[in-house]
Amino acid sequence: MSEKKVVIIGYGTGGMTAAAYVKNYCRECKVIVFEKRPYPIYHPCSLPDVISGYLKPEDIIEKEPMTPGLEFYVSTTVTRIDRDNKKVYYKGPNGEGEVEYDNLVLAMGSIPWAPGPLKKALELNNIYTLKTPEDAVAIRTKALNSKTAVVVGAGAIGIETALALHELGLEVYLIEALKEVLPGALDPDVGKIAHRIIEEHGVKVFVESPVSSITESNGKLVVEVKEEKIEADFVVMATGMKPNTQLAAEAGLELNERGFIKVDDYLRTSDPDIYAVGDLIVTKDYVTGKPTVSMLATPAFHQGRIAGLNIAGYEKKYPGTLAPFILQLENLAVGGVGLTKTRAEKMGLKVKAMRIQAWDKPHFMPDAEKAYIKIVYDPSDGRILGGQVACKRCNASKYVDLLSALIRNRATVEDLVYTETSYMPRVSEVYSPLFVVGESILRRLKKI
């Protein structure tokens, strides 16, 4: 059997998983990985825990690749893809080189992004982005010598960073341009609940507040928001990520209008020998079948699996993503999966939604609280299209994952009512909040 060369560029969740599946499912494959970091991989979702000190940077860095037997290059950047000759050119600690490929996997992930007017601010002193363990250490070091911080952007990373900084004793401002925190991920009504919980921690939250400028003044930064000027020792820009697709663009691969790589159901790019997975692709929404972008580790993992199996000779379609997400700390738990109402309406879909509040644990337990659950559904047949949850200490990941399983199975709200859930007062009520919202919807649909 002749050897098959598989080159993987980038060893985040997507690249790591693709490498593992090719290695484990293809005997004749040789897997070569290029990673620009000086170590194979780190765990980006734990960066806020490094800022707070809950974890040390070395806890979240892996010194060895996750799969043995890979040809692995660290501190090495791929500089060019030559599709005609099926070669990649790279530059590493030992100089430049080139390597041929039979299949190539693009998994270079994403890079921090700031909206136009703030791009320049990224060059100021004491402005940080949070993408790497080194960033987290720099922010922590600065925070330990500071009193006031501004976090711009109230997505998951922004919220976690703000809470971590607040835990370190800083006065923290969290500023969001859009209507509510976690825009995109949650509908504004559920975002508002998360917003209130974050404020209860002591973080000052401003929504609908685009930052108009960030300037330096006497060693401080001044963040201008609407009529207000906030002075801070430093600023963290958590305004989002953009796909790291310059290399792909230069190679002439098809991108969408926002610069994400287009892939087919097998996760092949416009060049069928080249696959792409993770943050840098535009993929398929499981519910609608429409293109979507989801810069989350869960879909990157599943995409890496599918691409790896396809390279190994299986023919597997990627079914699309429901993008389940969770932000769960000691006193804040929010999550969602599938379509939000906002997104469905933007797509012109006729959906309905119901939001309820119900006990996460029985009311008599000392740590009992009510969880907010919102379900987006198709009123014509009761099919569940999406769900959101917000609470302080409830088991949000349980609700999100159960909804993910149900939506994948094209289940209806009736299934929320008839799914039996485990009961023990220490962890759950005899009927889940999902039962409560399901029954409320059934009643509204006159289907009880």
Of 89 and 431, nearer to a second copy (C-beta) is 431
Q: Residues 11 to 30: which contact a second copy by CB under 8 A? A: 13, 25
**Is 164 a residue that touches a second copy (CB under 8 A)?**
no
Q: Does 359 bind a second copy (CB under 8 A)?
A: no
Applying CB under 8 A, does 395 fall inside the site for a second copy? yes
SS3 2: coil
Nearest distance in Å: CB 339, a second copy: 14
Q: What are phi and psi of 277, to 5 degrees?
A: -145, 155
Q: Residue 34 and residue 96: Cα distance in Å, rounded?
A: 13
Rounded to whole angstroms, the Cα distance separating 438 from 432 reads 10
Which of 348, 236, 353, 245 is CA-nearest to residue 295? 245
For residues 30 and 100, give the distance between their C-alpha atoms in angstroms, rounded to a whole number: 11
Residue from the set 186, 391, 402, 445 that interacts with a second copy by CB under 8 A: 402
Nearer to a second copy, 25 or 113 (CB): 25
- Give the nearest distance from C-beta 198 to a second copy in angstroms: 16
Per CB under 8 A, the list member of 172, 276, 400, 413 interacting with a second copy is 400
Strand 4-9 versus strand 103-106 pairing type: parallel
Out of 18, 323, 391, 413, name the contact with a second copy by CB under 8 A: 323
373 touches a second copy by CB under 8 A: no
Q: Which listed range, 192-200, 251-259, 372-380, 405-413, lies at the site for a second copy (CB under 8 A)?
A: 405-413
Separation in Å, CA 327 to CA 69, 74, 343: 35, 31, 20
Say if residues 129 and 135 touch (Cβ distance below 8 Å).
yes
Q: Under 8 Å CB-to-CB from 38, ≥6 apart: which residues?
A: 74, 75
Q: Which of 3, 59, 71, 264 binds a second copy (CB under 8 A)?
A: 59
Binding a second copy by CB under 8 A: which of 148, 288, 298, 357?
Answer: 298
Counting contacts by CB under 8 A, is residue 427 touching a second copy?
A: yes
Beta strand extents in 52-138 (DSSP E only):
61-62, 71-73, 77-82, 87-92, 95-100, 103-106, 110-112, 127-129
- Which stretches within 223-369 are classed as H helix? 246-250, 297-311, 341-346
Site size toward a second copy (CB under 8 A) is 61
Q: How far is the CB of 288 from a second copy (least distance, A)?
A: 16
Q: Is 446 in the site for a second copy (CB under 8 A)?
A: no
Q: Which residues bind a second copy (CB under 8 A)?
A: 13, 25, 43, 45-46, 49, 55, 59-60, 296-299, 301-302, 309, 314, 319, 321-329, 335, 337, 362, 364-366, 395, 397-398, 400-402, 404-406, 408-409, 411, 415, 418-428, 430-432, 448
